[in-house]
Each structure stands twice: as structure tokens, then as C-alpha cells.
């Protein structure tokens, strides 16, 4: 199905705007797109070749056009999404601009981030059969395809009659992959397939993608070409080619190693520089020798004359957060909580003891279903313990009225869209404080301050629904900050944000902790965030606290990490390879540079 020149997808001068009436001829295509600007073309004259047989990863800042570009590969743009389109898209020998999405589905399969929206069947079997049925595959051929696809995604023994809704997030996403694999596409398009998953789910998907790219299928040899958008460096490393998008154009493209070691290009495209690349660049290694994975990096350190000396204050978080602790805020005593379900109560929190002091930054980690979010909801009384007790400043949390505890303990939900409702940013941010009885000048002052803190001042009258995800997340945070809480509980604060936005958001949280003593409890899957900002980590397993000590000690112990299914950030993994037992591991690229002697310390192999 590939065109004769070995190119699976060829894009030429592709311009696309979500605005239906946009005049593409007069639009300014040269300007760098502002990632928070929702107007104007998203693709601005994109030229791109995806070689057949390649695994290409596409990275770039939010608003850079990554997802939009992917959607041109299976004709969703321009066939399905209304907008203004111009340009040539040739996919597997077809003119994709003149083909219906359902027609492209014969050759191109797509997996998106949100697995819930991609499951259509009421049983595992019906789900996998759905694609082949749509493509009019004869019924007798569908059975073997179901078997083949389920084993490809590592679910060969899953009960075929089981309802997908009862599966874990990772299993659901693997089922989506199976459904797409059953249509046997030549081109597989992946849009952040692991962004909504926990570390274990992510690893399972990485395995699936690896298996698909290695073409080990029995009846079918896997997709010839894969194109994937991701923010996660670990996943990007699966690919052999990389494309950086910036301002709706391909800014760099080439072999993975070449693109990912071009520190300047990565920075300019607002893509997170792989932490090892960042560290080794700072240490003075030449561009062509910058390592991507800890194992290679460790070999390079051993071959050099550098020695590793652990951080001087290992009890501190690299971001300097959570350092000052004051009075006792929360005390949890043998807390139990069960959900009522049709099949009887299901225990989510099973005997948790825990304490949080003022000024702490505590990370709450564990698998989906380990009970961490359920536990977090006890801090502001959204859940009341079935047994045991939760106290805030010595008083039982359920004894507070919501209007009392809500002012002191803010809760930022994972998805800002679950709370944004007002017409203007100001109205949205004022909602909480108004409910808590604030009015007049005091209210205005609080709202102004909160908007300034999240850097949205001046946008008071804008419609929050028109904002980017990063901005909406900040509106939600401002709505909590405006009540001037002492504690904020974050549930997955950085999901859906790109590297730059994540850093901006977490630095903001860190600043509030350092400067205003804000106490932070954060539920997260992102180990880089845990490492940088939280000096203390609580690991939940099956509703119980499995670990509650220093983050650095957790990341120093590979056997503990394996036991909890966690993966340390790359700089830590490298440090664990090269350090002495009594040295503490570095948690970030910056700490790694210091531990190995500082910037520019490397001056070539042998001396």
C-alpha cells in the first residue's frame, strides 16, 4: 500500500485553522503561534515526510499543532472536522484530503489519549469485533482476528464476555489497541496513548507499542509505520525518528538520536530536554555523545574521570519545597472507607495512619485503584471515614461545615472542566470565595491577587471556555487560591499539560509553598514531579500505606521501586548505577550536574 518512493505519509504546505471562515491566503503564517492563542491557523505550511517502516515520534509545545497534524493522516482533517484547510496530504498512496475517514480506516488506525471515549462495545469481544465489522470483514474471519489482537496487546486470557467498564484504565487502553489492531492498519497513529494512565498502565502500553513496532504478529505482521505524539521522554525513546513541531511547522526532523541531542532546537521548540541530555550537555559532553538512556550514561561516566558525590542536604527536595514544617495539621487514625456498589461494599482505604504538618509537600502515589484519591478526599471532608478518624488542627474533619473546611483546605480536581462554569474568568475565580461569604473590596482583592499569582491578570473578562488546557488548569487553581487556603490537595495537577506548562504550574505551586507556607498534598503519577517538589512520599497499595518516608530514600532503593511498580527519573537511575552505597542519589538533572562536579567539568575522555 506504500507509494513507490518509500514514503508512508507526505504532507506539503498544509495549512489548517479550526475557524471555518478563516481566510488562509491572508493569514499570517510566519508568526510563531502563541501556545495559548486559540485563534488563527494551527498548521502553518507544514511539510513532512514519514518514511515507510519508520516509527516517528512527534513532539512540541501545546498549540504547536501535534494532534492536528496527526488528524490529517487519517482524514479526520479535513473530512470530519470543520475548518479551513489547504495543502496536500498523501497517505499510503491515497490523497487523504479527498478520502472519507471511514475509508482511511482500512489503512490507518488511530488511538487517542482518552480511552473511555474510544470504547463502544458492551463486551470485550464486541469491542474488538467492532472495527472489522465496520470494514465488512467476513464474520468467520473476525474470530481469529479477536484472538490475534488480544494476544498482541497482552490480554489473551481476558474473559471475552466481560464488560469493558469493569477493566482497569491500562486494560481499557490495551483493549482500544486491540480494537484498532483487529483492523490490521498499515499505519498506526497514536495521540498521547499513555497520558491518562498510571505507571504500570503506561509500561503495559509501552510493551504493546514495542511489540507492534517489532512486527511480531502471527497472522498479521503489525503496522508497517507508526506515528506517535507524546510528552513523555521514556515513550519517545521507542521511536527511531523524531519530528519537532513549532508554530505549526516541522521545526526539526531526523533520526531520534540526532534530534534529541540538539539541546538548542529542543528548547526553542519548547520540548522538555531529556534530563540526561540536559545534564551531560551542562557537564561539557560534546553534542554527538549526549546519552538518552541511563545505562549508556552510566557507561560514559565510568569511562570518564568524573566521580559522583551525592547532594549535601539529601533530605531537601531539589525545588527547595516542603523544607519548613510547622504545627500539626492533619492526623489520620486507622481510616477506613468503602464504596457502595451493586455487588456490595468495596474497600478503598483500609486502615491508614498518616500525619501532615504545616508547610509540608507530600506526594501521594500508587496505582489507579490503590485508594490514593479516595484518601485525599478525606482531607476536606468530601469523604467521611467509615471507621477511624481524620482531624484537622485537632478537630474532626466531619465536624466542620463544608463552608469552614472548604476555606482552609482547597481541592484542585484533575480535570478543570469538571468545575469551570462561569462566563468570565473573574466570575469563575470569585465563585468559591463568594460561597464562603466574602464580598466587596475584600473579594476583589483576593480575586486580583489569585489571578496575578497564576499569571492570568488582565484576562478577567475573558471566557474561560476559550482558554487552553494549561490556562484552564490555572483558572481552577486561582479559584481555590482566592479562598486563601492553608492547604491545597491536588489530584493529578499536571495531566494534559505539556512539559513547559507542567513546569510553570508546579513552579507556581512550589513558590506558594516556599513563600507563603502553603501546605501541599498531591496525588500524582509523575515521578519527575514527585522527585523535584516533594521531599516526602506516601505510596498507597491496596488501600494501605506501603511507604511513608523521604522521597530520596524511596528512589534510592531499586527493590522498593520494583515492589511498588514505580520507575525513578532518569538522573536518579543513572546516579543509582554510579554512586557508592552511602551516597544519596540525585533527583534532577541539576543535582546530577552538581554531583558529578559542576558545569563544564568534563573535558574529554582521557587525561
What are the backbone dihedrals phi and psi of residue 54, each rounded to the nearest 5 degrees, phi first?
-90, 165
421 part of the interface to other proteins, by CB under 8 A: yes
Q: Which long-range contacts (CB under 8 A, 24 or more apart) does 391-398 make?
A: 391/330, 391/331, 391/333, 392/329, 392/330, 393/327, 393/328, 393/329, 394/328
- The DSSP annotation for 445-494 comes to HHHHHHHHHTT-TT-TTS-GGGS-HHHHHHHHHHHHHTT--SEEEEESTT
Q: Restricting to residues 458-517, which ones interact with other proteins according to CB under 8 A?
A: 465, 479-480, 483
String of contacts with other proteins for each residue 195-214, x by CB under 8 A: --------------------
105 part of the interface to other proteins, by CB under 8 A: yes
Q: Which of 2, 62, 183, 519 binds other proteins (CB under 8 A)?
A: 183
Distances from the Cα of 473 to the Cα of 51, 69, 104, 447, 584, angstroms: 37, 24, 35, 16, 35
**Angle, CA of 294, 491 and 170, to the nearest 5°:** 60
- Residue 153 or 531: the one with the smaller Cβ distance to other proteins is 153
String of contacts with other proteins for each residue 287-326, x by CB under 8 A: ----------------------------------------
String of contacts with other proteins for each residue 84-103, x by CB under 8 A: ----------------xxxx
Distance of closest approach, residue 62 Cβ to other proteins, in angstroms: 16
Q: Which grid cell is 216? A: 511480531
Q: Which grid cell is 588? A: 534532577
Q: Restricting to residues 360-379, which ones interact with other proteins according to CB under 8 A?
A: 369, 373-374, 377
Q: Which of 31, 303, 387, 402 binds other proteins (CB under 8 A)?
A: 402
Q: H helices of 182-253, where?
A: 199-213, 233-236
193 part of the interface to other proteins, by CB under 8 A: no
Q: Which of 21, 139, 394, 440 binds other proteins (CB under 8 A)?
A: 139
Contacts of 332 (CB under 8 A, 6+ apart): 352, 353, 354, 355, 375, 378, 388, 389, 390
- Residue 346 or 562: the one with the smaller Cβ distance to other proteins is 346
- Residue 270 or 474: the one with the smaller Cβ distance to other proteins is 474
Q: Report whether the peptide linkage leading into residue 78 is cis, meaning its omega lies within 30 degrees of zero.
A: yes
Distance of closest approach, residue 458 Cβ to other proteins, in angstroms: 23
String of contacts with other proteins for each residue 528-567, x by CB under 8 A: ----------------------------------------
Q: Restricting to residues 209-248, which ones interact with other proteins according to CB under 8 A?
A: none
The two beta strands, 387-392 and 395-396, are: antiparallel
From 253-261, 275-283, 414-422, 534-542, span contacting other proteins (CB under 8 A):
414-422
Reading across the β-sheet that carries 395-396, which strands appear in turn? 344-357, 328-341, 387-392, 395-396
From 136-144, 294-302, 308-316, 508-516, span contacting other proteins (CB under 8 A):
136-144
Q: Restricting to residues 325-344, which ones interact with other proteins according to CB under 8 A?
A: 339, 341-343
Number of shown-chain residues binding other proteins (CB under 8 A): 80
Distance of closest approach, residue 332 Cβ to other proteins, in angstroms: 18
From 20-28, 178-186, 199-207, 508-516, span contacting other proteins (CB under 8 A):
178-186
- Residue 312 or 343: the one with the smaller Cβ distance to other proteins is 343
Looking up cell 552511602, which residue turns up?
582
106 part of the interface to other proteins, by CB under 8 A: yes
Residue 260, H or E segment: helix 256-260
What are the backbone dihedrals phi and psi of residue 540, each rounded to the nearest 5 degrees, phi first?
-100, 140
CB–CB of 119/90 below 8 Å? Answer: no
Helices 275-283 and 294-303 meet at what angle, rounded to 10? Answer: 20
d(CA 49, CA 261): 21
Q: Which of 417, 553, 557, 599 binds other proteins (CB under 8 A)?
A: 417
CB–CB of 579/310 below 8 Å? Answer: yes
**Angle, CA of 485, 488 and 494, to the nearest 5°:** 140
Which among 108, 148, 111, 114 is positioned nearest to 128, based on CA atoms?
148
Distance of closest approach, residue 142 Cβ to other proteins, in angstroms: 4
From 209-217, 406-414, 585-593, 599-607, span contacting other proteins (CB under 8 A):
406-414
From 15-23, 193-201, 261-269, 415-423, span contacting other proteins (CB under 8 A):
415-423
Q: What is the DSSP letter of 418?
A: G
String of contacts with other proteins for each residue 44-83, x by CB under 8 A: ---------------------------x--x-x---xx--
d(CA 408, CA 54): 53
- Residue 269 or 522: the one with the smaller Cβ distance to other proteins is 522
Q: Which of 5, 21, 26, 166 binds other proteins (CB under 8 A)?
A: 166
d(CA 2, CA 5): 8
String of contacts with other proteins for each residue 113-132, x by CB under 8 A: -x-xxx-xxxx-xx--xxxx
- Residue 127 or 526: the one with the smaller Cβ distance to other proteins is 127
- Residue 300 or 374: the one with the smaller Cβ distance to other proteins is 374
Q: Which of 1, 137, 238, 560 binds other proteins (CB under 8 A)?
A: 137
Q: Restricting to residues 433-452, which ones interact with other proteins according to CB under 8 A?
A: 434-436
Distance of closest approach, residue 114 Cβ to other proteins, in angstroms: 6
Q: What is the DSSP letter of 366?
A: -
Amino acid at each position: 500500500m506504500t507509494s513507490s518512493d518509500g514514503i508512508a505519509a507526505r504532507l506539503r504546505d498544509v495549512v489548517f485553522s479550526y475557524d471555518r471562515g478563516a481566510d488562509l491566503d491572508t493569514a499570517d503564517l510566519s508568526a510563531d503561534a502563541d501556545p495559548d492563542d486559540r485563534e488563527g491557523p494551527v498548521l502553518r505550511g507544514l511539510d513532512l515526510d514519514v518514511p515507510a517502516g519508520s516509527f516517528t515520534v512527534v513532539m512540541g509545545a501545546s498549540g504547536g499543532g501535534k494532534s492536528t497534524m496527526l488528524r490529517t493522516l487519517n482524514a479526520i482533517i479535513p473530512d470530519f472536522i470543520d475548518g479551513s484547510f489547504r495543502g496536500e496530504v498523501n497517505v499510503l498512496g491515497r490523497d487523504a484530503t479527498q478520502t472519507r475517514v471511514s475509508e482511511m480506516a482500512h489503512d490507518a488506525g488511530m488511538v487517542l489519549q482518552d480511552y473511555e471515549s474510544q470504547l463502544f462495545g458492551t463486551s470485550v469481544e464486541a469491542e474488538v469485533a467492532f472495527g472489522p465489522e465496520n470494514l465488512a470483514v467476513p464474520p468467520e474471519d473476525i474470530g481469529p482476528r479477536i484472538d490475534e489482537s488480544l494476544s498482541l496487546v497482552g490480554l489473551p486470557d481476558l474473559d471475552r464476555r466481560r464488560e469493558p467498564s469493569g477493566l482497569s484504565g491500562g486494560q481499557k487502553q490495551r483493549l482500544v489497541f486491540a480494537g484498532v489492531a483487529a483492523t490490521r492498519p498499515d499505519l498506526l497513529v497514536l495521540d498521547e496513548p499513555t497520558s491518562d494512565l498510571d505507571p504500570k498502565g503506561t509500561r503495559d502500553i509501552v510493551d504493546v507499542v514495542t511489540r507492534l513496532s517489532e512486527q511480531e504478529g502471527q497472522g498479521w505482521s503489525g503496522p508497517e509505520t507508526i506515528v506517535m505524539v507524546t510528552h513523555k521522554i521514556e515513550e519517545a525513546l521507542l521511536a527511531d525518528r523524531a519530528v519537532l513541531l513549532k508554530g505549526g511547522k516541522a521545526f526539526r526532523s531526523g533520526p531520534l538520536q540526532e534530534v534529541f541531542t540538539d539541546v538548542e532546537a529542543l528548547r526553542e521548540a519548547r520540548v522538555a530536554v531529556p534530563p540526561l541530555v540536559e545534564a551531560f550537555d551542562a557537564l561539557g559532553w560534546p553534542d554527538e555523545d549526549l546519552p538518552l538512556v541511563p545505562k549508556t550514561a552510566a557507561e560514559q561516566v565510568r569511562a570518564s574521570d568524573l566521580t559522583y558525590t551525592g547532594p549535601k542536604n539529601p533530605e531537601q527536595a531539589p525545588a527547595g519545597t516542603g523544607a519548613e514544617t510547622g504545627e500539626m495539621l492533619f492526623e489520620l487514625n486507622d481510616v477506613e472507607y468503602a464504596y457502595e456498589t451493586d455487588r456490595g461494599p468495596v474497600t478503598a482505604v483500609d486502615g491508614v495512619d498518616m500525619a501532615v504538618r504545616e508547610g509540608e509537600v507530600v506526594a501521594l502515589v500508587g496505582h489507579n485503584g490503590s485508594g490514593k484519591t479516595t484518601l485525599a478526599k478525606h482531607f476536606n471532608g468530601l469523604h467521611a471515614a467509615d471507621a477511624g478518624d481524620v482531624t484537622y488542627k485537632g478537630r474532626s474533619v466531619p465536624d466542620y461545615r463544608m463552608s469552614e473546611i472548604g476555606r482552609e483546605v482547597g481541592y484542585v480536581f484533575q480535570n478543570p472542566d469538571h468545575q469551570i462554569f462561569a462566563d468570565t474568568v473573574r466570575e469563575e475565580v470569585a465563585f468559591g470565595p463568594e460561597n464562603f461569604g466574602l464580598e466587596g473590596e475584600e473579594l476583589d482583592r483576593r480575586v486580583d491577587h489569585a489571578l496575578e499569582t497564576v499569571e492570568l491578570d488582565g484576562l478577567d473578562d475573558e471566557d474561560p471556555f476559550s482558554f487552553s488546557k494549561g490556562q484552564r488548569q490555572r483558572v481552577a487553581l486561582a479559584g481555590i487560591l482566592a479562598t486563601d487556603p492553608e492547604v491545597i490537595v491536588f489530584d493529578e495537577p499536571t495531566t494534559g499539560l505539556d512539559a513547559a506548562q507542567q513546569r510553570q504550574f508546579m513552579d507556581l505551586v512550589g513558590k506558594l509553598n516556599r513563600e507563603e507556607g502553603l501546605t501541599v498534598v498531591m496525588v500524582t503519577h509523575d515521578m519527575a514531579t514527585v522527585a523535584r517538589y516533594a521531599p516526602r512520599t506516601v505510596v498507597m497499595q491496596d488501600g494501605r500505606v506501603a511507604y511513608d518516608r523521604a522521597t530520596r530514600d524511596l528512589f534510592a532503593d531499586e527493590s522498593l521501586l520494583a515492589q511498588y511498580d514505580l520507575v525513578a527519573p532518569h538522573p536518579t537511575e543513572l546516579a543509582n548505577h554510579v554512586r557508592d552505597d552511602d551516597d544519596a542519589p540525585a533527583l534532577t538533572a541539576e543535582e546530577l550536574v552538581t554531583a558529578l562536579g559542576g558545569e563544564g567539568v568534563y573535558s574529554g575522555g582521557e587525561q
